[in-house]
Amino acid sequence: MSLKIDKSCAIIGSGIAGLASAIRIAAKGYKVDVYERNSIPGGKLNEFRKNGYRFDMGPSVFTLPQLIDELFTLCGKNPRDYITYMHLKTPFKYFYEDGTIINADADVDKFGDEIELKTKDTKKAFQRYLKDIETKYKITNEVFIENSLHIAKNFLNKRTAYGVLNFHKIDAFKSMNAGNQSFFKDRKVVQLLNNYANYVGSNPFVAPATLNVIQHLEINLGTYLPDKGMYSIISALVKLAEEIGVTFYYNTAVEEIITAPDAKKRKVIGVKTKTQELIKYDKVVSNMDIYYTFKKLLPHEKAPEHILNQPKSSSLIAFFWGVKNTYEVLNTHNMLFSADDVTEFKTVFEQHNLSDDPSIYIYVSSKHVKEDAPKGCENWFLFVTVPNDQGQNWDELVVKAKKSIVQKINRMLNTNIEQHIEFEEVLTPPKIKENYSTPFGAIYGNSSHNKFAAFFRHSNFSKKVNGLYFVGGSVHPGAGIPLCLNSAKIMDKTFKK
């Protein structure tokens, strides 16, 4: 069976980058169809509900909300008619084994005061640091984040020239840890800032200090939370997409991207699903991980093995707890730190195992979204960093992780958490691999350990197949909501009508 619509595009996957791509391409006048193998949209930015609780399952830290708003204004819509969000006043609380608690206030002056009060470092050192990561961001943003690295002319503009001339300032040849130690002497502050390596599934003792720009987004530019939780971003984008004519096909996996010879290059002619041999399209955008895009969907195209075989990021073991209690000491985002972060990261990245004393992230959306938990209760989404799936015994590691988590929470929060857990769901690397077509369950794609990792991510368009594009966390510019949205934006810039 063969179908054909003029100016048509298929989007494979409805993760946030796939949705952003669908909206941008539909705004160009294309008929856009989105194919999603799962029953609901969102990819890793997912949710589930149980016993009166609602849980965000994926990314939980929301920065640069203007990248979401931009998709609505692009279509002539008011974003506030679809989604609202708040600027968190104290987004993070950091807990240490010696009883120290650092409140990361959105007001950087207050955050600096907290650093000076609770550690051996000074507010002045913190201010210097924030200025430094702001400079790094300004140097790298337009060059590495907002534009393709795979188009020669992009290196000829003034902003790129500025970036090249100031390359020495981004600390590409120094690790995140070394970069942070150059500003701070207290291990507590260094550990707090090293923790941002987890946002890209990497080891701060190896990954380049350039990645300290991540802190700039959260600390300098602000952390937000949608009024109805993170999944409301997906709901809002799907609503917009449907209003401008995008069609969604759920429970429908694309089995192959069909290509054919065309002059010097090959070209896209459509996609194949289980029920249809060929559905013709002029363009195809894959929001599927680049590894499986080539390994599964492009059997007749030569795979870029030098990219696909790059070392993969870490993963996580996550627990979703319905907690029949409230904890005033916790905030929306919380970190309970390991007493030995050096050993923690070494165990994960060198020994490919779970640390005996892992740091624990706890996200409690019901602190702000009251309907996310029954009255007098809280919804805890908590996880520890683990290696990607190399055949470890995950059943054993889940038991070990829970034991470590319960002991640390009870010790550091002075509670008996198990008696308050109403129910539990668990997410592991094998489940991440199965549910989201993520190779090895490496939730952030390739690791960022290479000093030139940005150049080892696949481009947002195919150089060999006309009409084929790639978006999402596994391609340029990388993982995380802002970068995924920028991948769609870069794709849009290179999209040839």
| Burial label, 175 (beta-carbon count in 10 A; 0-12, 13-18, 19+) | buried
Same domain for 152 and 121: yes
Q: Give the pTM.
A: 0.93
Same domain for 199 and 121: yes
The answer to the question of residue 442 being in a domain is: no
**Amino acid in the structure at residue 284:** V
User: Residue 466: in which H helix or E strand, if any?
Assistant: strand 465-466
Same domain for 192 and 141: yes
Same domain for 291 and 263: yes
438-470 burial string, b = 16+ CB within 10 Å, else e?
Answer: bbbbbbbbbbbbbbebbebbbbbbbeebbbbbb
DSSP 406-445: HHHHHHHHTS-GGGGEEEEEEE-HHHHHHHHT-GGG-TTS
Strand partners, 475: 458
The answer to the question of residue 33 being in a domain is: yes
> Of 174, 201, 221, at which residue does a domain stop?
221
Q: How far apart are CA 58 and CA 71, in angstroms?
A: 21
The answer to the question of residue 469 being in a domain is: yes
Number of C-beta neighbours around residue 227 at 10 A: 12
Query: What is the extent of the structural domain holding 207?
Result: 108-221
The answer to the question of residue 181 being in a domain is: yes
pLDDT for 241-258, tens place per residue?
Answer: 999 999 999 999 999 999
Which residue is it, tokens 């907290």?
114
Same domain for 239 and 202: no
Same domain for 174 and 242: no
Predicted local confidence at residue 142, as pLDDT: 74
> Of 192, 221, 250, at which residue does a domain stop?
221
Q: How far apart are CA 167 and CA 161, in angstroms?
A: 10
Q: For helices 231-243 and 66-74, what crossing angle results, to 10°?
A: 10
- The C-alpha angle 469, 473, 475, rounded to 5 degrees, equals 45
Same domain for 233 and 215: no
The answer to the question of residue 349 being in a domain is: no
Residues 6+ apart with CB under 8 A from 152: none
Predicted local confidence at residue 167, as pLDDT: 57
Same domain for 144 and 118: yes
The answer to the question of residue 50 being in a domain is: no
Same domain for 212 and 240: no
Q: What is the DSSP letter of 81?
A: G
Assign 175 to helix, strand or coil.
Answer: strand
Predicted local confidence at residue 151, as pLDDT: 58
Structure tokens that stand for 473 in this block: 């966390």
Same domain for 40 and 126: no
Assign 191 to helix, strand or coil.
Answer: helix
Looking at the structure of the chain, the number of domains it has is 2
Residues 6+ apart with CB under 8 A from 316: 383, 384, 385, 386, 427, 429, 432, 443
> Of 155, 186, 221, at which residue does a domain stop?
221
Predicted local confidence at residue 2, as pLDDT: 42
Same domain for 134 and 117: yes
The CATH number covering residue 288 comes to 3.50.50.60
Q: What are phi and psi of 466, to 5 degrees?
A: -65, 135
Predicted local confidence at residue 448, as pLDDT: 86
The answer to the question of residue 438 being in a domain is: no
Residues lower than pLDDT 50 in the chain: 1-5
Q: What is the DSSP letter of 353?
A: S
Same domain for 208 and 129: yes
